[in-house]
Amino acid sequence: MATSPRQGPESDAFDAAVARLTAATHPGDDLCAPFVGVTGVAGAALSTLGRPLGSQTVCASNAVAARIDEIQIDLGEGPCWEALSTRHPVLESDIQRGGGSNWPAAREAFRSLRIGALFAFPMHVGDLSVGSVDLFSHTARPLAPALVEDVSVLASIAAHQVLRRVLQDLDSADEGMSEGPYSRREMHQASGMIAAQLRIGVDDALVVLRAHAFSSGRTVRAVAVDVIARRITFDNPPRDLQS
């Protein structure tokens, strides 16, 4: 088991988090709480991202954490995607004042949530991209280098547990994740319907779905539900039965 080189309460908290994550082998086990306990942040969320596992929230410690994850999955941009692609943590200690030009739409959405800091850690298993761990704080704050190291270790353990769950659920769910409070099954079904209506690929259809959600100020899931119910169609010309 991984252990912290530090001594005292910080080391004890890290060791407890490692033990809890390592033992979290059942679908109902909480993967988010160990990260909150170690860092003292306001919330955490874990998600799978992109191929091959699909994009979906695995767990979220509260509604704000879930919304942070949803924003990034809906928009296809944000610190979680950057962390996954670079394989390095993304540390935004002051999201309200930070002026980075990366992921501008997500950054604006985060500011509307009035969060202070946002940190993303990649989850990989070998060469396989699994997803990301997002941590947020209500106030601006840095994440100490020792905590960055600790969370990176925890993210590696969590990656294995998430992959284990995906493999267990392959027979009963689309893209590896089972039905649950963060299921995005509707999004994939709606993308297929849009693809058929517009005679385009599913990946392009997902872009259309995201663009419609963004332009209307709604979540992708909400728009997807309307597409499935045929309240919104993308025929030629497209029509929105709610407008």
- Cβ neighbours for 58, distance < 8 A, ≥ 6 positions apart: 31, 45, 46, 47, 48, 131, 162, 165, 177, 182
The overall pTM is greater than 0.75: no
- Cβ neighbours for 161, distance < 8 A, ≥ 6 positions apart: 21, 24, 25, 29, 31
Q: How far is CA 227 from CA 18, 32, 223, in A?
A: 42, 32, 6
Cα–Cα distance, 144 to 148 (Å, whole number): 6
pLDDT at 137: 97
pLDDT at 147: 96
Helix %, strand %, coil % of the chain (to 5) = 50, 15, 35
Question: CB-side exposure of 179: number of CA atoms within 13 Å?
Answer: 2
- Which one-letter DSSP state was computed for residue 118? E
pLDDT at 222: 81
113 contacts 137 by C-beta, under 8 angstroms: no
Q: How far is CA 242 from CA 170, 216, 232, 239, in A?
A: 36, 11, 7, 9
Cα–Cα distance, 240 to 70 (Å, whole number): 23
DSSP characters over 126-185: TTEEEEEEEEEESS-----HHHHHHHHHHHHHHHHHHHHHHHHHTTTSGGG--SSTT--H
Cα 241 vs. chain centroid, distance in angstroms? 31
pLDDT at 183: 61
pLDDT at 5: 53
Question: Among residues 163, 156, 157, 150, which one has the least CA distance to residue 49?
Answer: 163
pLDDT at 174: 45
Question: Among residues 45, 216, 9, which one has the least CA distance to residue 119?
Answer: 45
| Beta carbons within 10 angstroms of residue 174's beta carbon | 17
Question: How does pLDDT run along the chain (243 residues), one tens digit per residue?
Answer: 565 555 556 788 999 999 999 998 887 899 999 999 999 999 999 999 988 778 889 999 999 999 999 999 989 999 999 999 999 999 999 999 876 778 999 999 999 998 999 999 999 998 889 999 999 999 999 999 999 999 999 999 999 999 888 777 654 444 444 455 556 677 778 778 887 888 787 777 777 777 777 667 777 778 888 888 888 888 755 455 544
pLDDT at 154: 97
